[in-house]
Chain A
Amino acid sequence: GNSVTQMEGPVTLSEEAFLTINCTYTATGYPSLFWYVQYPGEGLQLLLKATKADDKGSNKGFEATYRKETTSFHLEKGSVQVSDSAVYFCALSDNDYKLSFGAGTTVTVRA
């Protein structure tokens, strides 16, 4: 079946540091890949997506590239802010009418 593996957290960074969250996946077909972010007390917000190999999704300074050869979709941001503190989820959708999520990575950015 489909599955997503995310790097374990929590991750603590200083403002303006570089952020990377690793994500790898297993899928039987050709999935679409997503990053969602969850702030305290809220639901999930779509951060970015990529629908085919070598696509790069980007939003709010975050980027992730769909790497079919390594089955990966790592999230990166060059300079984080305190407001980026949240839980980040990698997810895939593979023609089965559902999202399969990773475990989530808690990111804390200190001023």
Chain B
Amino acid sequence: KAGVTQTPRYLIKTRGQQVTLSCSPISGHRSVSWYQQTPGQGLQFLFEYFSETQRNKGNFPGRFSGRQFSNSRSEMNVSTLELGDSALYLCASSLDTGVNQPQHFGDGTRLSIL
């Protein structure tokens, strides 16, 4: 069974640009979550989608947005990139959003802002 697939693996952008990251969940998984990982702030929750609906959002500015498609694939977008947006962005999927359901992570997209 294929795992969570994130594309691209690496991305280099400059300040002011925008970027779109993609995530394909494990087949059958309907919940997709996004996290930002940085050395200073650790792992921080961005947002969670289930059946194309955003059900929770972390404490990030409106420049960070996401969506989920009917096939459960998800994208996140960051506009007007800042140097501080440099991070590893991780996507995770789970069967459902029940408390007991573990999340399965992809290998992430490494975003570097110059």
- The verdict on B112 contacting chain A, using a C-beta distance below 8 Å, is no
Chain B interface bracket (under 10, 10 to 19, 20 to 34, 35 or more)? 20 to 34
- With A42-B107, A43-B90, A51-B100 known as contacts, the answer to whether A98 contacts B42 (CB < 8 A) is no
CB-nearest residue of chain B to A95: B99
Dominant secondary structure at the B interface: strand
Which B1-35 residues have a C-beta within 8 angstroms of A? 4, 6, 31, 33, 35
Give per-residue flags for A88-111: 1 if the beta carbon is below 8 A from chain B beta carbons, else 0. 010001111111111110000000
A102 to chain B minimum Cβ distance, whole angstroms, is 8
B98 to chain A minimum Cβ distance, whole angstroms, is 9
Residues of B within 8 A of A94 (CB): 99
A residues near B, CB below 8 A? 30-32, 34, 36, 41-46, 49, 51, 89, 93-104
Q: Do B42 and A101 touch (CB < 8 A)?
A: yes
What CA separation (Å) do A101 and B38 show in the bound complex? 13
- With A41-B107, A43-B107, A44-B90 known as contacts, the answer to whether A99 contacts B100 (CB < 8 A) is no
CB-nearest residue of chain B to A98: B45
What CA separation (Å) do A97 and B100 show in the bound complex? 11
Residues of A within 8 A of B42 (CB): 101-104
What CA separation (Å) do A33 and B26 show in the bound complex? 22
What CA separation (Å) do A46 and B101 show in the bound complex? 11
